[in-house]
Amino acid sequence: MVMVLGYKMYAIIELMFKNYIQRKLEGYVKKYLRVHPDIKLIIVTGSVGKTSTKVAIGTVLSEKFRVRLHEGNHNAELSTPLAILGIEYPTTLKSVGAWLAIFKAARLRIKQPSDVDVIVQEVGSDGIGQVPHFGTYATPYIAVVTAVSEEHMEFFKTLDAVAAEELSAANFSERALINRDNIAGKYAEDLTNANINTYGTTDAAEYHFTQEDFTLEDGFTGLFRVRGEFDMGIKVHLKVFGEHSIRAAVAAGAVGIRLGLSEDELRNGLEKIRAVSGRMNVLRGVKDTIIIDDTYNSSPLAIESALEALYQLSVPQKIAVLGSMNELGDSSPAAHEAVGKLCNGNQLAYVVTVGDDAEKYLAPAAQTNGCQVVSFKTALEAGAFVHKVLEEGAAILFKGSQGGIYLEEAVKIVLHSTEEESKLVRQSPQWLETKQNFFSKF
């Protein structure tokens, strides 16, 4: 009993310490933005595509402005304020000395002249109320909402709750950009801000892209259009893969226009956008194969978009390696089954699953859809199988969540060169140790 009470008291103290730090950091951000009113804060939230959109926006705006953004997904309660302030996240959260040093750095940041013109910040949510809470200590100049789809359903339970969470960012910001393609129209009733525009890949959106051509080497050629401003369009080459990757670029162009970039600056910035590691990044595999590395995380909407991109390729063999989707709660069985039904037996030579839910729910649906399915417990086994069966010039999609899936380790097995391992996600010494410990259990 004494030991149990001791653990409970320790947990309470730890939570109080975290809450104290969070309040301090949020206070510093609030003061920093008040002292430096010329800095434009752009936030990116949504169920999928946040990091790619954030980096795309930063790439475009860098044509004209000094931009701060963290290329990782530093979007939680403690990491978000630190990313805004440009202060490194501590290696240990329990060190009082480390936090005192961070508080000192924050105070110095407030006093110093502005070192940036624009901050592009990702705002995530793995529980109800986290996005609205951001609005209590910062008022963004622009909020970009990328999507409303299944995420952390163990907390949100319904898609309506997800919509209310993500779209709250549009309401507490000065103005907002909403992805028309991946947010159902019925959620417009959640919006109270009059300064909202839409972006997407069809002319139904005010900011959109008209595709003219595509090659795997050069990406998409087409026109970036803005209704009422650039009706004739700006001719650009987007070196990305997948229609959903175009949307991130269009969002970046839309933000660029709102911040006054010239036509040349927009074009130059858009053409510098590249895939972020683990997000539809095209790599070279053995036997002159094409690897579509989408291993950072996974959700039903993200898999659907990735499969659509794979199906558009004209190659002799297509393989989809799909890991279990985490964070879906009670909706996991139905969501995995729905993904299995998207697997086209006429398109895919193999569907390779990794993880329990993918094997239990996705695999049978894919088999019913005419697919040849092979299931494995680990990414290492899946990678070895793919290496054995792939043909010259094949295309392989790797799509999976991080916890317990780690499909980037399967990618390693079919990479053309070990030098490209640096382009994969979760390759830090800490992550490699975590994964080694995980795989050693099998």
Give residue 189's pLDDT band: very low, low, confident or very high (50, 70, 90). Answer: confident
* DSSP for 197-231, written as a single string: EEEESSTTSSEEEEEEEEETTTEEEEEEEETTTEE
The class of domain 2-270 in CATH terms is alpha beta
pLDDT at 5 over 60: no
Query: According to DSSP H, which parts of 117-195 are helical?
Result: 130-134, 153-156, 159-172
Name the CATH superfamily, with its identifier, for domain 281-439.
Mur ligase, C-terminal domain (3.90.190.20)
Distance CA 425, CA 406 (A): 9
Most distant CA pair in the chain, distance: 74
What is the residue type of 218? D
Residue 330 banded pLDDT, cuts 50, 70, 90: confident
What residues pair up with 120 in beta bridges, in sequence order?
A: 42
Which pair of tokens denotes residue 206? Answer: 């005010």
* Mean pLDDT, all residues of the chain: 92
Q: C-alpha angle 133/136/139, rounded to 5°?
A: 110
According to DSSP, the β-strands at 350-354 and 373-376 are parallel
pLDDT tens for 331-384 read 899 999 999 999 999 999 999 999 999 999 999 999 999 999 999 999 999 999
Contact 237, 219 (CB under 8 A): yes
* Sheet of strand 67-68: strand arrangement: 67-68, 118-122, 40-45, 142-145, 175-179, 196-200, 207-215, 219-226, 230-238
pLDDT at 1 over 60: no
Chain-centroid distance of CA 129 in Å reads 20
Residue listed under structure tokens 């259990």: 441
Give the pLDDT of residue 146. Answer: 97
**Range list for CATH 3.40.1190.10 in the chain:** 2-270
CATH 3.90.190.20 residue window(s) in the chain = 281-439
Q: Which residue has the higher pLDDT, 227 or 230?
A: 227
Cα(417)–Cα(424) distance, integer angstroms:
12
